[in-house]
Structure 1
């Protein structure tokens, strides 16, 4: 049976994982940009990461007959410094031209801070301006419900067609 993995972070996986996925029937994946387990110290670090997602990972996946698609953003865990986040967001439009980029994501909130919300709204605006799909990651919080509501409010305030938005990591109390 052939399948598509809609959410996998291959930059943190070994090439053996691509091989195993191919043997199991995987023909395509989508890889959202995510927090790498540590805060990057410069926009240049994100530039290199976006190149990895748009150049290196597609080649690595292709070795096993797997198509690699990606989403680009600054993750909420790194978005609490608006000046830094804006430097990163400014890099994204050039990468949107890459054939394997699906849209903006996975965006959302982490601690529901004012700055995170500002950057969330700016990334939604980026998606709107460039007619991109949006992948939303609901918060990893004790107050996931509040964060999800804030995200939904920000999306509702935009002009993005709801059919172009995918909300991931939903739980029974956030539906």
Structure 2
């Protein structure tokens, strides 16, 4: 059983979803930034496409698809509070398993305010929060993200710090959060992900694997490919099972 915890299915062709269905027992698609969110209606249309069109599209090819809803830091509509109220409605959908993708891109005042509001909503809703970290200035922005979270005194530690690298993974794990390892060109290679898992094997119950399959160059089979590399490198079955499926099943309460 394998789970890809972070994709953007609406950017991929049906043949890619079918290929995922052949190799994965479940995937989680997240709200992102497919176009400029000029108003809340544009943002609503994006999220509702995930909840309606994408779930149905995945079903056609046998892919078990779950959804996280939220405001990506590059896709914040002007009517933030209205969007937050809509998220409260969306989380009642039986396929919604978390709040995401949220986080910071440039750490502007607006981004921080929206990030905090969504973290508090995740706390209120008792759902995991999936937190984006950017390609640029990753270390600097990740530190800001962790500082912002620490000021809130949240009881919910079910927070995933996404797209971690060798440096930031330690910060996320030390803070008690989950670390998302994204195997994608420009982020991590399969072997780099394997090395990070080896170095942090004592925290294997807090590591998640994903492909971030999107409109960027991506490998739809990044998770099974990395699992193969882990086996070749001699990583034990217990650790492989945790990072490739068990942690995801428990964190997102997935029914597969």
Which TM bucket (shorter chain)? 0.7 to 0.9
Partner-residue secondary structure (3-state), 1:31: strand
Any idea what the Cα deviations from partners look like across 1:5-64, whole Å, max 9, x if unmatched? 2111110111111122223x222110111111x312221112122211112211111122
Q: How many residues align?
A: 168
Corresponding position of 1:123: 118
> Greater Rg, structure 1 or structure 2?
2
- Taking structure 2 as the reference length, the TM-score comes to 0.61
8 Å contact from structure 2 (residues 33, 72) kept in 1: yes
Gaps of 5+ in 2: 170-256
* Aligned structure 1 segments of 4 or more residues deviating by more than 4 angstroms: none
Partner-residue secondary structure (3-state), 2:102: strand
Q: Report the Cα distance in structure 1 between the residues aligned to 2:31 and 2:81, rounded to whole angstroms.
A: 16
Corresponding position of 1:85: 80
8 Å contact from structure 2 (residues 32, 75) kept in 1: no
Corresponding position of 1:150: 144
Q: Report the Cα distance in structure 2 between the residues aligned to 1:35 and 1:6, rounded to whole angstroms.
A: 18
Q: Report the Cα distance in structure 1 between the residues aligned to 2:142 and 2:4, rounded to whole angstroms.
A: 24
Query: What's the C-alpha RMSD, in Å, of the aligned pairs?
Result: 1.6
8 Å contact from structure 1 (residues 27, 65) kept in 2: no
Corresponding position of 1:32: 30
Partner-residue secondary structure (3-state), 1:76: coil
Q: Report the Cα distance in structure 2 between the residues aligned to 1:119 and 1:9, rounded to whole angstroms.
A: 21
8 Å contact from structure 1 (residues 145, 174) kept in 2: yes
State whether structure 2 residue 162 is matched by structure 1 residue 168: yes
Corresponding position of 2:133: 138
> What does 1:58-97 correspond to in 2, within 5 Å?
58-79=55-76, 83-97=78-92
Q: Report the Cα distance in structure 2 between the residues aligned to 1:160 and 1:117, rounded to whole angstroms.
A: 19
Corresponding position of 2:254: none
Gaps of 5+ in 1: none
Q: Report the Cα distance in structure 2 between the residues aligned to 1:43 and 1:166, rounded to whole angstroms.
A: 26
Q: Report the Cα distance in structure 1 between the residues aligned to 2:132 and 2:112, rounded to whole angstroms.
A: 13
Q: Report the Cα distance in structure 1 between the residues aligned to 2:17 and 2:80, rounded to whole angstroms.
A: 31
Q: Report the Cα distance in structure 1 between the residues aligned to 2:29 and 2:124, rounded to whole angstroms.
A: 22
Q: Report the Cα distance in structure 2 between the residues aligned to 1:161 and 1:117, rounded to whole angstroms.
A: 19
Shift of the alpha carbon at 1:115? 1.3
State whether structure 2 residue 102 is matched by structure 1 residue 107: yes
Shift of the alpha carbon at 1:89? 2.2
Shift of the alpha carbon at 1:102? 1.0
